[in-house]
Amino acid sequence: MIKFWNKRLELGLLTENLELDNELKAIQKEIKDQVKKKFAGSLAIRMVDSGSCNACEAECNALANPYYDLERLGIYFVASPRHADVMLLSGIMTFNMTPHVKEAYEQIPAPKWVIAMGDCPAMEGVFEKTYAIEAPAKNHLPVAHHIKGCPPTPLDIIKGILEFLRKI
Ligand code: SF4
What does the radius of gyration of the chain's CA atoms come to, in whole angstroms? 19
Q: How far apart are CA 74 and CA 39, in angstroms?
A: 9
Give 36's Cβ-side CA count (13 Å radius). Answer: 8
- Calculate helix-pair angle for 18-39, 154-167, nearest 10 degrees: 40
Question: What is the bridge-based pairing of β-strands 143-147 and 113-117?
Answer: parallel
The secondary structure of residue 5, as a DSSP letter, is: H
For residue 15, pLDDT beyond 80: no
Give 17's Cβ-side CA count (13 Å radius). Answer: 6
Tens of pLDDT, residues 38-64: 999 999 999 999 999 999 999 999 999
pLDDT at 9: 84
Helix (H) or strand (E) segment spanning residue 165? helix 154-167
For residue 163, pLDDT beyond 80: yes
Percent of the chain residues past pLDDT 90, beyond the cut: 86
Please classify residue 155 by burial: count the beta carbons closer than 10 Å to its beta carbon, then call 0-12 exposed, 13-18 middle and 19+ buried: middle
Higher-confidence position of 19 and 39 = 39
pTM of the prediction? 0.90
First vs last C-alpha separation in the chain: 57
Q: How many A from CA of 149 to the centre of ligand 1?
A: 8
Tens of pLDDT, residues 72-125: 999 999 999 999 999 999 999 999 999 999 999 999 999 999 999 999 999 998
For residue 17, pLDDT beyond 80: no
Q: List the CATH code of the domain at 40-167.
A: 3.40.50.12280
pLDDT at 38: 97
For residue 11, pLDDT beyond 90: no
Mean pLDDT of 13-36: 88
pLDDT at 54: 96
Q: How many A from CA of 45 to the centre of ligand 1?
A: 19
Q: How far apart are CA 26 and CA 31, in angstroms?
A: 9
Helix/strand/coil for 155: helix
Q: Which atom of ligand 1 is nearest to the CA of 55?
A: 3
Kindly report the protein residue whose alpha carbon is nearest to atom 2 of ligand 1.
150
Kindly report the protein residue whose alpha carbon is nearest to atom 5 of ligand 1.
52
pLDDT at 131: 95
pLDDT at 42: 97
Sheet holding 43-49, edge to edge: 75-77, 43-49, 86-90, 113-117, 143-147
